[in-house]
Structure 1
Amino acid sequence: MSKKGLLIGLVVLVVAIAAYFAWSKLKGEGLPSGFASSNGRIEAVEIDISTKTAGRLQDILVREGDFVKAGQVLAQMDTAQLEARKRQAEAQFRRAKIAIDTANSLVAQREAEKTSALAIVEQRKAQLDSASKTYARSKQLLTGNAVSQQIVDDSEAAEQSARATLASAQASLAASDAAINAAKAQIVDAEAAVDAAQADIESIETDIADATLKSPRDGRVQYRIAQPGEVLSAGGRVLNLVDLGDVYMTFFLPTAEAGRTSMGSDVRLILDAAPQYTIPAKVSFVADVAQFTPKTVETEEERQKLTFRVRAQIPQELLQKYIQYVKTGLPGMAYVRLDPQAAWPENLERNLVK
């Protein structure tokens, strides 16, 4: 055998031995019973910051990647039209208030007219009573020829005239009652107009307040979806935030392992971007319906299996401590402890993030 052939043989032997030891090491570090593993990705709750009403986007005050606090102003919609509508509603409110005052004055006027009409009715009643008595006496005197027929006729005409005058006064009194009721109805209408204008003002003020888009919670700006100057419809998306207080890894387990996974089970996460660190987590969700593993799972063989979706939640206090390093979309491995009594393998206890 030549020296060249011997050298090649030695190289092949060394590679084979190295491969064997590597395989042996990997096998030795395989998961013991009581544990399951699967690959997944870091995810977080996403929040769309959207407009409540249609309008023009005036300004965006944050950039992609910025950390924001709950209540922080993120963007501002143009409120010129809303301000104009508010001024119009305020003018209607003032007109309605004036209408109430006018209607109250009218009621007072109509009540004064009613008082006068009552006095006239009483006066007309007295006149009718006097005319009726005069007519009765005239008829008695006529039987004794003490008065002429002309006097009787005149007293009868006077009595009929007094009766007609009383009827007219009573009609005027009824008309004054109707006028009072109409004036009071105007007060009710004016008060309703005041309430409507006030409600319109409050609604517009709410829209103006909603035109200032604020962050509903602490998080990070992920995307700027719209740009200043764009006209957006009601519900138009402006920004997308990630809630960094609600971060988890979603992964999939086969039926046998998912059936042994309980809420609150301990999980260890190792990310491809930082394999030297182990992140503690706990199971916060196990799907109750099996599904085919999604395409994001690396191997075709795994994608053909029916599995259950599992979510491992990272503790909020840990997220707050390392918030600058939290990123979504990172792939990694999740290791679930199925048996609470099982001890974690050494490689999953090293460099545990605390």
Structure 2
Amino acid sequence: MKNIDKNTNLLSKTILGLACLFSLSACNSNDEKSDAYGNFEAVEVVVSAQENGQLKSFEVNEGQKIKIEQQIGLIDTVLLHLQKEEMLAQINSLGDRVMSYHEQIEVYKAQKEKLTNDKDRLEKLFANEAATQQQLDDVNAALAINEKQLTATKRKIQDSNRATLSQYEPLSKKVDLINERIKRCTISSPISGTVLQKYVENGEMTGTGRPLFKVADLDIIKVKAYASATQLQKIKTGQKVTVLTDGQEGNMNQTQGVVEWISDKAEFTPKTIQTREERVSLVYAFKVRVDNKDGKFRIGMPAEINF
């Protein structure tokens, strides 16, 4: 009987110990539950072609880091350069037209100078009865015709200048437009970052608006998570929080982040978050900025937040 009592007491103590162990384990599990859950995200920019044509060069690869305004490709510009040369030739022809009128004026001025000298000489001869009235009348008539020709040519220059100006400005605008289009054939990145996706290859035909590649700045990455109305009272923008991510052997890696944005509108919890009960609750989205210069965080990676 004594042995039975001893075994009974030992079994009771064992059961009690296991119960305490499970109780502590459950307590620890509850203590380790994070305040919020979410995923890493980054601002992704899709760079599209701004002109039509063949890709003469497109030197970019997925995973490659590029800098802002770095040239990484070029769309064929041959046709645009030919159009520009045509416009410039038309502009030059306008200048040649005006120059021809100026040359005529110089001829008429030289004629006027000669006729004036002839008139002076004939007037002296006529005074000495060495020239006839007819000769004097002829030179005066020639001077009158010369003056009309000079006046008419000057008027042509004025009219030509107005016509030239009316044609020059549109042609000049067309040249500016072509220069802008040539500039847009150079493919560059609007931000510094990492190429996430490449949609075309060198040598392919592309068109205005066609996506070429996707880039995102992964040096600063964000966790978008959700907080209940009660939790919302515990956080504010600029607040430092702890970001937890999966580590090796079931451990959690800790990183410090800063609350950057808190939504002012409630929404239903996204389906990716926890249980069905939690998904029907109204929550507020918020974002935590995390330094990622070492590149250990990836877009879409799950994360937990502790306030």
Band of TM-score, shorter chain = 0.7 to 0.9
| Match runs of 1:68-217 below 5 Å | 68-77=66-75, 79=76, 82-110=77-105, 113=108, 177-190=151-164, 193-194=167-168, 196-217=170-191
User: Given the superposition, is the C-alpha separation of residues 260 and 327 from structure 1 closer, same or farther in structure 2, using an over 3 Å criterion?
Assistant: same
Query: Is 1:26 aligned to residue 20 of structure 2?
Result: no
Summarize the Cα distance change of 1:256–1:185 in structure 2 as closer, same or farther, 3 Å threshold: farther
Equivalent residues of 1:104, 1:183 under 8 A apart: no
Of residues 245, 270, 274, the one that matches 1:271 is 245
Where 1:287 maps in the other structure, the secondary structure is strand
Q: Secondary structure at the match of 1:65?
A: coil
SS in 1 for 2:217: strand
Normalised by the length of structure 2, the TM-score is 0.73
* Cα-Cα RMSD: 3.9
Residue in structure 2 matched with residue 132 of structure 1 by the alignment: none
Q: Do residues 45 (structure 1) and 16 (structure 2) align?
A: no
2:279 matches 1:303: yes
1:182-230, CA deviations, whole angstroms, 9 ceiling, x for partnerless residues?
A: 3233234445655544543443333333323122332111111223344
Secondary structure in structure 2 of the residue aligned to 1:26: helix
**Residues 19-44 of structure 1: CA distance to partner in whole angstroms, max 9, x if unpaired?**
3231022345567xxxxx11100001
CA distance 1:58–1:91, change in 2 (3 Å) = closer
**Contact map agreement 1:46 1:241 (CA 8 A) in 2:** yes
Matches of 1:307 and 1:221, distance apart in 2 = 33
State the distance in 2 between where 1:113 and 1:261 align. 90
Question: CA offset at residue 67 of structure 1?
Answer: 2.2
Unpaired segments of 5 or more residues in structure 1?
1-5, 32-36, 124-161, 337-354
**What is the alpha-carbon distance in structure 1 between the residues aligned to residue 25 and residue 234 of structure 2?**
31
Larger radius of gyration between Structure 1 and Structure 2: 1
State TM-score, norm by structure 1.
0.65
Mean CA deviation greater in 83-92 or 215-224: 83-92
Structure 2 residue 298 is the aligned partner of structure 1 residue 327? yes
Whole-angstrom CA distance in 2 between matches of 1:291 and 1:170: 93
1:310 is displaced (CA, Å) by: 0.2
Deviation at 1:273, TM superposition (A): 5.2
Tell me if the contact between 1:218 and 1:244 (Cα under 8 Å) persists in the aligned partners.
Answer: no
Distance 2:54 2:13 in 1: 75
Displacement, 1:63?
Answer: 1.8
Change (3 A) 1:273 1:180: farther
Measured against aligned partners, the alpha-carbon deviations of 1:225-252 in whole angstroms (never above 9, x if no partner) come to 2233443321211100111133100011
3-state DSSP class of the match of 1:200? helix
Partner residue of 1:55?
53
Contact 2:87 2:175 in 1 (8 A): no
Per the TM alignment, residue 11 of structure 1 is displaced from its structure 2 partner at its CA by: 10
Equivalent pair of 1:40/1:297 in contact (CA under 8 Å)? yes
Q: Deviations over 1:243-302 (max 9, x none)?
A: 113310001111222244211011111113565321111111111111112222132111
1:47 Cα offset (Å): 1.1
Q: CA contact under 8 A between 2:59 and 2:202: conserved in structure 1?
A: no
Q: Which structure 2 residue ranges, 5 or more long, are not aligned?
A: 1-7, 120-136
- Counterpart of 1:103, as a letter, is V
Q: Which amino acid aligns with 2:304?
A: M
Cα distance in 1 for residues equivalent to 2:237 and 2:297: 24
Q: Compared with structure 1, are the counterparts of its residues 84 and 60 closer, same or farther at alpha carbon in structure 2 (3 Å cutoff)?
A: closer
